[in-house]
Amino acid sequence: MKRGVAGTVRGIATAVLAALFVAAAGTALHRQALPWSGVEVPWGVAGALLLLASVQLWLAAWSRSVVPTAVAGVVTYAAVGVFSSAGPAKQLVLGDAVGNVWVFGIAAVTVVMLVAASRLRAGRPAAAAVAVEPPSPR
> What is the spatial distance between Cα 14 and Cα 59, in angstroms, rounded to a whole number?
8
- Structural contact between residues 70 and 114, judged by C-beta atoms closer than 8 angstroms: yes
- pTM of the predicted structure, to 2 decimals: 0.79
Q: Which of 43, 57, 51 is nearest to 20 (CA)?
A: 51
Identify which of 43-47, 83-87, 125-129 has the greatest average pLDDT: 43-47
Continuous H helices in 85-96: none
Domain extents in the chain: 3-30+38-125
Tell me the pLDDT band of 97, cut-offs 50, 70 and 90. confident
Tell me the pLDDT band of 98, cut-offs 50, 70 and 90. confident
DSSP classification of residue 115: H
Average pLDDT value for the chain: 82
Check residues 48 and 125 and name the one with the higher pLDDT: 48
pLDDT exceeds cutoff 90 at 111: yes
Tell me the pLDDT band of 3, cut-offs 50, 70 and 90. low
> What is the spatial distance between Cα 25 and Cα 129, in angstroms, rounded to a whole number?
41
Q: Give the pLDDT score at 113.
A: 92
pLDDT exceeds cutoff 90 at 55: yes
> What is the spatial distance between Cα 32 and Cα 45, in angstroms, rounded to a whole number?
7
Single-letter amino acid, residue 77: Y
Tell me the pLDDT band of 70, cut-offs 50, 70 and 90. very high
Q: Which of 102, 82, 98 is nearest to 90 (CA)?
A: 82
